[in-house]
Structure 1
Amino acid sequence: MLETSLFALFVVGLLGGGHCLGMCGGLVTAFTLQLPSGVRRAPFLLGYNVGRIGSYALIGALLGGLSGAGLTLLATRPFQWVLYFLANLMLIGMGLYLAGMSSAVTRIEAFGRPLWRLLQPRLARLLPVRSPAQSIAVGALWGWLPCGLVYSASLSALAAANAASGALTMLAFGLGTLPNLLLMGAFADRLRAQIQKRPVRLLAGLAVTAIGLYRLAEPLLSGALFI
């Protein structure tokens, strides 16, 4: 069951490339333009993304650990099922977003704006970036940028109910976003052109939606919900 969720979230990260480039592409460009002239950009781009995905994994570990502790304290199976169903409803929402049928999942970005306002001054103090190590720190703060897709994936980490599975969940999503943001340039433009094609987005979005529907129906069909 976890493997299915990891694959679905990787696809969401990969096919959500248009959203990622729209939100984060400008940041990457701004960071890169501030680099000293003549330096190789690849280590800095790698550093940004290592930091960013590291933050995603940390978010997943925190949420998974917190939910696991909560389930232990509450000792209640119904609460676990609530998280499971919410996570898969959100997975369906992400699939509909990828298919171009709904943008509802992006509306939850407002919840993260107060935290981002606190982090922005710390990010500003790290700029301009002068070393790959510094770029990792910048990427780690960047990972907390309000993003509907990240928050949607985070709910799956919450439903994972342990820190390791939560971290893996967000790592899978983060790795899906990597090609679009790491390979910014001619290849990224071609990749974006392919994944933004309507048939590709529709097929992938419906596939993710189908996975969410299947995961919602599975406990009912197997009778696990009533055990």
Structure 2
Amino acid sequence: MTLDYFSAILIGLLGAGHCIGMCGGISTMLTAAVEKQSKTSFYYISAYNLGRIITYSFLGLIAGWTGSLGVQALGFPVIILKVIAGIFLILLGLYIGQWLFWLNHVEKLGRGFWQQLQPLSKRLLPINSMPKALGLGMLWGWLPCGLIYSTLTWSIASGSAVSGMGIMFFFGLGTLPALLTVSLGFQSLTLFFKKRWVRRLIAIGLIFYGLITLKFAYHVMF
């Protein structure tokens, strides 16, 4: 596993509190929409989380391809893209810690597209088949989210479509523990991640990781 993939998993794990706050309600709604069959409900929950990760991977592929165009066609230095990724990671930490909300402006960029997609979800309810569960998850993956957009900067900085897709795939895996916790009803863990001090501790971790990224980029450039 490359450092970028490890970083992607780490961002997904550290974003647990944000995931629960942003997507916990959706996860709970989708779980409630699953027809209560003990043998299939877990598979449906797994399927819509898989659909979400598929969308993340697709977005990562597009972002990585865009980054490769910037590097190959325009001669844009990869290390500058790493600097941008580090800055976005710091902004994400400030956002999750509720100290600075600049990423709200970034999230607004995707809201118009999300409003066009959201009505499609009604055609897939109730969740009574694997294709419906997978389709809803793939729609869910387009939800505007600062955590996703920040990680996409890592995909762009990878300078490769395949690497970009891998980064977002591993990011999706990193978000699984938090969202499965909500879906499977582990309320104590859910409440833990919602605590203010936990969110701020995670935020500090993201900021610190962003600073390490910038330090690494600085040493490469100078």
Unpaired segments ≥5 residues, structure 1: none
In the alignment, structure 1 residue 58 sits paired with structure 2 residue 54: no
User: Structure 1: how far apart are the matches of 2:183 and 2:85?
Assistant: 34
- Contact map agreement 2:182 2:190 (CA 8 A) in 1: no
Q: Which residue of 1 aligns with 2:133?
A: 135
Q: Which residue of 2 aligns with 1:73?
A: 73
- Residue type at the aligned position of 2:136: V
Query: 153, 174, 184: which is aligned to 2:151?
Result: 153
User: Structure 1: how far apart are the matches of 2:80 and 2:89?
Assistant: 14
Deviation at 1:82, TM superposition (A): 3.2
User: Structure 2: how far apart are the matches of 1:211 and 1:10?
Assistant: 13
Q: Which residue of 2 aligns with 1:94?
A: 92
Q: 1:107 to 1:215 in 2, by over 3 A?
A: same
Give me the identity figure in percent: 37
- Contact map agreement 1:8 1:208 (CA 8 A) in 2: no
- Contact map agreement 2:47 2:134 (CA 8 A) in 1: yes
- Contact map agreement 1:15 1:98 (CA 8 A) in 2: no
Q: Which residues in structure 2 correspond to 1:163-182 (within 5 Å)?
A: 163-182=161-180
Deviation at 1:68, TM superposition (A): 0.4
- Contact map agreement 2:15 2:202 (CA 8 A) in 1: no
Deviation at 1:56, TM superposition (A): 0.6
Number of residue equivalences: 221
TM-score normalised per structure 2: 0.86
User: Structure 1: how far apart are the matches of 2:18 and 2:210?
Assistant: 21
User: Structure 1: how far apart are the matches of 2:183 and 2:29?
Assistant: 14
- Residue type at the aligned position of 2:130: P
- Contact map agreement 1:11 1:204 (CA 8 A) in 2: no
- Contact map agreement 1:106 1:149 (CA 8 A) in 2: no
- Computed over aligned residues only, the root mean square deviation of the Cα atoms, in angstroms, reads 2.5
Deviation at 1:192, TM superposition (A): 2.7
In the alignment, structure 1 residue 26 sits paired with structure 2 residue 22: no
- Residue type at the aligned position of 1:207: G
- Contact map agreement 1:55 1:143 (CA 8 A) in 2: yes
Q: 1:99 to 1:6 in 2, by over 3 A?
A: farther
User: Structure 1: how far apart are the matches of 2:216 and 2:21?
Assistant: 35
- Contact map agreement 2:34 2:126 (CA 8 A) in 1: yes
Q: 1:219 to 1:153 in 2, by over 3 A?
A: closer
Q: Deviations over 1:76-109 (max 9, x none)?
A: 43xx343221111001122233444334324421
TM-score normalised per structure 1: 0.84
- Contact map agreement 1:126 1:134 (CA 8 A) in 2: yes
Specify the SS of the correspondent of 2:182.
Answer: coil
User: Structure 2: how far apart are the matches of 1:50 and 1:124?
Assistant: 19
Unpaired segments ≥5 residues, structure 2: none
